């Protein structure tokens, strides 16, 4: 073993002691920094993945959206269903309405569905099954042109229950009003509830038949688009591009083709940015830890000035003296990274126990999980993130050792030996 | 001193050393000092405090560069050596014993002694047995695994002597090695130092205030006014 490495390790782990106290503090600093960085990154990855899964689960793989109302949609639907990539397709119409129960108004998103096709594209049956309130659970068979299904949280906000009749006001009323015509609000009885587990959806969505939606929005026989479910081996983005090229070339239908990725692009970009912003913030923990290494080693250079003089006297080169301190810093970094990775893996393994204990302590269990629709804290381990954090930390800790190393190398041996 | 005593292992020729004083004045500590040390001989340097004894040792070992003059180690002009070559030659030719021992507190006694071989790059299987042999000779047979903090001053200095001699240097430079020791311990250390240098055939340059220890060396030099006034 080269002697600078030997001496560096001896200064970290002196003979007769487990480790040097000051070096131990530096190692703990790096360990905590790496741990926090990896935990945050892994949980953020988990959040991202879960949110993507939720988006895929509640949304179609691809939407073929008309540039305006699609009146001639039936041939398009047939054409799409014939394509090998497509597993199922369903027409839809959707938009915002005002809904009122007694004096409680709300402006939810309402979706008109084809009762025979919807379940092939969206897991609506599963969402209906999720409702545990017996008198408000229903199936798609209970939905007709007089009834409506609400998201569970929307129903709660509207204080609606079994037998509630809701008044629906649509933008079409404004159009009629301009022509001095009056269109009365449509009354619809609550058929039941659905629960997707996604608060944004459950608190802001309602489902009616396609025909009702066509009437509410004055679409005639038109729809807004066709939602597609692809075969499992298909990549939504690639298929969307292929379809778009096909429709642009054929010119038969004036449509836009959007994959779920494209449709939620800004949201997914936000998630990605959030992860990197968190990474950027957490970097400062490693910076502080590296600074503490630089301070510890600088103090060490000061304390060991005469020993540094002696090393030179017995034949050490300046570069070797410098590398002793650099190697100490790198060794602190390596141990900090190794312990940080182990600590992060351990903390992530027991994350749900820790978080549940904290939530119980603050009595915030329900609201936390309801908000995100997760059963626990998600985590997605990324080897890339682990490698990135490890390399980044090792570089920073090595740089932290440079300043004290240069100081040590610049000491004049005679002056070092004379120092008090 | 004359050349019939063997080859010249260390030579200083018209060595001067000047420092800047705190008030900006020039302090001339050495003013062209000449000295030759021959193989296998011992030499003591005496002088008043501040006369430049330690400075002379630093200059001839090139731990400090002289303001003027030339230093030869085994016939090699030190000023002509590159930094790497200087370090290598220093490890080969010179051994050091200081008043304050300068042992590494993280290393035990044996590891401290072996450190000089590690730095020289000559750590081999027999280095350990050689280090143990030296430690036995200085009376620390049962203290190999002790940390320096657990040793007395005399014991620490004996470890430092063993460390200095491990690489079998041509010259051992001892800067007041008994300065921190009581009289009885100092006598033991001096006896060891002179005996081991003689056994190993190493030359000894001893800086001391003690006339009794100086009298035990083959040659005696008196440093005064930056020059060796008297060499016997």
Taking CA–CA distances from B109, the nearest residue in chain A reads A15
**Of B58, B102, B167, which has the smallest distance from its Cβ to A306's Cβ?**
B102
Q: What percent of chain A has pLDDT over 90?
A: 26
- What are φ and ψ of residue B45, in 5° steps? -120, 125
Could A412 and B64 be called an inter-chain contact, meaning their C-beta atoms sit closer than 8 Å? yes
Considering only CA atoms, which of B185, B110, B108 is closest in space to residue B150?
Answer: B108
Quote the pLDDT of residue B3. Answer: 46
| Per CATH, domain B3-231 is 3.10.20.90 | no
Q: How confident is the model at residue A369 (pLDDT cuts 50, 70, 90)?
A: low
Taking CA–CA distances from A304, the nearest residue in chain B reads B104
For residue B45, the SS3 value is strand
Task: Give the ipTM.
Answer: 0.82
Quote the pLDDT of residue A366. Answer: 63
Q: How confident is the model at residue B181 (pLDDT cuts 50, 70, 90)?
A: confident
**Of A3, A10, A309, which has the smallest distance from its Cβ to B106's Cβ?**
A10
Q: Which of A417, A418, A419 to probe the B interface (max B CBs under 10 A)?
A: A417
Q: How confident is the model at residue A367 (pLDDT cuts 50, 70, 90)?
A: low
Query: In Å, how far is A395's CA from the nearest CA of chain B?
Result: 27
The residues, any chain, with a CB within 8 Å of residue B67's CB and separated by 6 or more, are: B16, B17, B18, B30
Least confident range of A245-249, A397-401, A416-420 = A416-420
Stretch B4-19: mean pLDDT: 82
**Of B55, B96, B107, which has the smallest distance from its Cβ to A314's Cβ?**
B96
User: Beta-carbon neighbour count of residue B28 at 10 Å?
Assistant: 15
Stretch B38-54: mean pLDDT: 86
Query: In Å, how far is B108's CA from the nearest CA of chain A?
Result: 6
Taking CA–CA distances from B167, the nearest residue in chain A reads A314
Q: Is the pLDDT of residue A110 over 90?
A: yes
The beta-strand segments (E) located in B78-161 are 94-98
Q: Crossing angle of helices A318-349/A21-58, nearest 10°? A: 40
Could A3 and B118 be called an inter-chain contact, meaning their C-beta atoms sit closer than 8 Å? yes
Average per-residue pLDDT for chain A: 86
More confident call, B180 vs A115? A115
- The CA radius of gyration of chain B, in Å to the nearest whole number, is 17
Least confident range of A359-368, A382-391, B149-158 = A359-368
Stretch A259-270: mean pLDDT: 84
Average per-residue pLDDT for chain B: 85
pLDDT digits (tens, 9 = 90+) for B60-98: 888 888 888 899 898 889 888 888 888 888 888 888 888
**Of B106, B107, B119, which has the smallest distance from its Cβ to A314's Cβ?**
B119
Is A152 in contact with A200 (CB distance < 8 Å)?
no
Residue with tokens 């005639």: A220
Residues of B with CB under 8 A from a CB of A: 54-55, 58, 61, 63-64, 83-84, 87-88, 90-92, 94-96, 98, 100, 102, 104-108, 111, 115-116, 118-120, 123, 145, 147, 163, 167
Q: Which helix (H) or strand (E) holds B198?
A: helix B183-200
Could A310 and B102 be called an inter-chain contact, meaning their C-beta atoms sit closer than 8 Å? yes
Residues of A in contact with B106 (CB under 8 A): 10-11, 14-15, 20
Could A414 and B115 be called an inter-chain contact, meaning their C-beta atoms sit closer than 8 Å? no
Quote the pLDDT of residue A88. Answer: 92
DSSP state of A183: -
Alpha-carbon distances of A235 from A121, A177, A182, A259, rounded to whole Å: 16, 46, 48, 9
**Of A6, A20, A313, which has the smallest distance from its Cβ to B61's Cβ?**
A313
Q: Which of A13, A15, A314 to probe the B interface (max B CBs under 10 A)?
A: A314
Residues of B in contact with A307 (CB under 8 A): 102, 104
HSE value, Cβ hemisphere, 13 Å, CA-based, for B130? 18
Quote the pLDDT of residue A222. Answer: 92
Quote the pLDDT of residue A365. Answer: 64
DSSP string, B157-191: HHHHHHHHHHT--SEEEEESTTTTS-HHHHHHHHH
Could A15 and B87 be called an inter-chain contact, meaning their C-beta atoms sit closer than 8 Å? no
Could A315 and B116 be called an inter-chain contact, meaning their C-beta atoms sit closer than 8 Å? yes
Q: Which helix (H) or strand (E) holds A171?
A: helix A171-178
> Beta strand pairing status for B8-20 and B68-73?
antiparallel
HSE value, Cβ hemisphere, 13 Å, CA-based, for A104? 12
pLDDT digits (tens, 9 = 90+) for A177-224: 888 887 788 899 999 999 987 788 889 999 999 999 999 998 989 999
Q: Which of B50, B118, B157, B207 to probe the A interface (max A CBs under 10 A)?
A: B118
Residues of A in contact with B172 (CB under 8 A): none
Could B87 and A315 be called an inter-chain contact, meaning their C-beta atoms sit closer than 8 Å? yes
Q: Which of A313, A322, A325 to probe the B interface (max B CBs under 10 A)?
A: A313
Residues of A in contact with B61 (CB under 8 A): 313
User: Beta-carbon neighbour count of residue B229 at 10 Å?
Assistant: 11
Could B119 and A318 be called an inter-chain contact, meaning their C-beta atoms sit closer than 8 Å? no
pLDDT digits (tens, 9 = 90+) for A46-104: 888 888 777 777 778 899 998 889 898 898 899 999 999 899 999 999 999 999 888 88
Of chain A, the end-to-end C-alpha distance in Å amounts to 32
Quote the pLDDT of residue B186. Answer: 83
Residues of A in contact with B91 (CB under 8 A): 314-315
Query: In Å, how far is A345's CA from the nearest CA of chain B?
Result: 33
Could B118 and A417 be called an inter-chain contact, meaning their C-beta atoms sit closer than 8 Å? no
Stretch A349-375: mean pLDDT: 74
Q: How confident is the model at residue A26 (pLDDT cuts 50, 70, 90)?
A: confident
Q: Is the pLDDT of residue B124 over 60?
A: yes
Taking CA–CA distances from A18, the nearest residue in chain B reads B106
Query: In Å, how far is A414's CA from the nearest CA of chain B?
Result: 5
More confident call, A397 vs A253? A397
Residue with tokens 């229903």: A138
Quote the pLDDT of residue A249. Answer: 85
Q: Is the pLDDT of residue A306 over 70?
A: yes
Could B104 and A314 be called an inter-chain contact, meaning their C-beta atoms sit closer than 8 Å? no
pLDDT digits (tens, 9 = 90+) for A135-191: 888 888 889 999 999 999 999 998 988 888 999 998 888 888 888 887 788 899 999
Size of interface A-B (CB pairs under 8 A): 82
């Amino acid at each position: 073993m080269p002697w600078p490495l030997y001496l560096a390790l001896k200064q970290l782990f002196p003979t007769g002691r487990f480790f040097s106290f000051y070096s131990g503090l530096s190692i703990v600093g790096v360990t905590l920094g790496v741990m926090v960085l990896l935990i945050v990154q892994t949980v953020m990855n988990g959040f991202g993945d879960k949110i993507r899964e939720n988006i895929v689960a509640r949304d179609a793989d691809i939407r073929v959206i008309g540039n305006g109302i699609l009146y001639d949609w039936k041939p398009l639907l047939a054409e799409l269903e014939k394509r090998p990539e497509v597993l199922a397709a369903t027409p839809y119409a959707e938009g915002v309405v005002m809904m009122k129960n007694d004096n409680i108004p709300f402006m939810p998103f309402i979706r008109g569905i084809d009762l025979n096709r919807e379940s092939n594209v969206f897991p609506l049956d599963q969402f209906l099954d999720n409702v545990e309130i017996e008198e408000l659970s229903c199936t798609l068979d209970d939905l007709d042109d007089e009834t409506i299904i609400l998201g569970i949280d929307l129903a709660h906000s509207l204080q609606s229950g079994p037998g509630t009749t809701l008044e629906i006001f649509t933008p079409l009323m404004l159009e009629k009003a301009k022509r001095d015509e009056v269109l009365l609000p449509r009354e619809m009885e609550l058929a039941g509830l659905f629960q997707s587990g996604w608060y944004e959806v459950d608190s802001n969505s309602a489902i009616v038949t396609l025909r009702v939606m066509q009437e509410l929005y004055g679409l005639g026989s038109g729809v807004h688009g066709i939602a597609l479910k692809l075969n499992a081996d298909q990549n939504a983005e690639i298929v969307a591009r292929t379809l778009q090229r096909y429709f642009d070339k054929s010119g038969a239908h004036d449509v836009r083709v959007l994959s779920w990725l494209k449709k939620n692009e800004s949201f997914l970009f936000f998630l990605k940015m959030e992860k990197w912003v968190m990474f950027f913030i957490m970097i400062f923990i490693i910076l502080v830890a590296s600074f503490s290494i630089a301070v510890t080693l600088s103090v060490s250079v000061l304390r060991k000035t005469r020993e540094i003089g002696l090393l030179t006297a017995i034949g050490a080169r300046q570069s070797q003296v410098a590398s002793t301190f650099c190697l100490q810093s790198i060794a602190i970094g390596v141990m900090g990274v190794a312990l940080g990775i182990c600590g992060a893996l351990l903390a992530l393994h027991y994350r749900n126990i820790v978080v549940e204990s904290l939530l119980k302590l603050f009595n915030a269990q329900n609201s936390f999980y309801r908000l995100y629709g997760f059963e626990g804290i998600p985590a997605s381990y990324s080897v890339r993130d682990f490698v990135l954090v490890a390399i980044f930390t090792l570089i920073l800790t090595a740089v932290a050792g440079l300043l004290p190393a240069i100081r040590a190398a610049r000491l004049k041996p005679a002056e070092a030996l004379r120092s008090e | 001193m004359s050349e019939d005593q063997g080859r010249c292992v260390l030579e200083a020729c018209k060595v001067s050393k000047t420092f800047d004083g705190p008030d900006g004045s020039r302090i001339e500590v050495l003013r062209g000092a000449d000295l030759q040390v021959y193989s296998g001989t011992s030499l003591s340097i005496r002088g008043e405090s501040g006369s430049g004894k330690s400075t002379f040792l630093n200059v001839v070992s090139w731990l400090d560069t002289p303001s003027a003059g030339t230093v030869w180690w085994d016939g090699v002009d030190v000023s002509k050596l590159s930094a790497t070559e200087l370090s290598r030659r220093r490890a080969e030719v010179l051994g050091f014993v200081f008043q304050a021992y300068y042992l590494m507190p993280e290393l035990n006694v044996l590891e401290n002694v072996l450190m000089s071989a590690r730095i020289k790059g000559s750590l081999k299987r027999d280095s350990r047995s050689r280090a143990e042999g030296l430690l036995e000779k200085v009376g620390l047979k049962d203290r190999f695994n002790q940390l320096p903090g657990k040793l007395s001053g005399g014991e620490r200095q004996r470890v430092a002597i063993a460390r200095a001699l491990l690489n079998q240097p041509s010259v051992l430079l001892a800067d007041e090695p008994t300065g921190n020791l009581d009289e009885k311990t100092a006598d033991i250390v001096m006896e060891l130092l002179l005996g081991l240098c003689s056994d190993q055939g190493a030359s000894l340059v001893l800086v001391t205030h003690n006339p009794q220890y100086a009298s035990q060396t083959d040659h005696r030099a008196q440093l005064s006014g930056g020059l060796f006034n008297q060499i016997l």
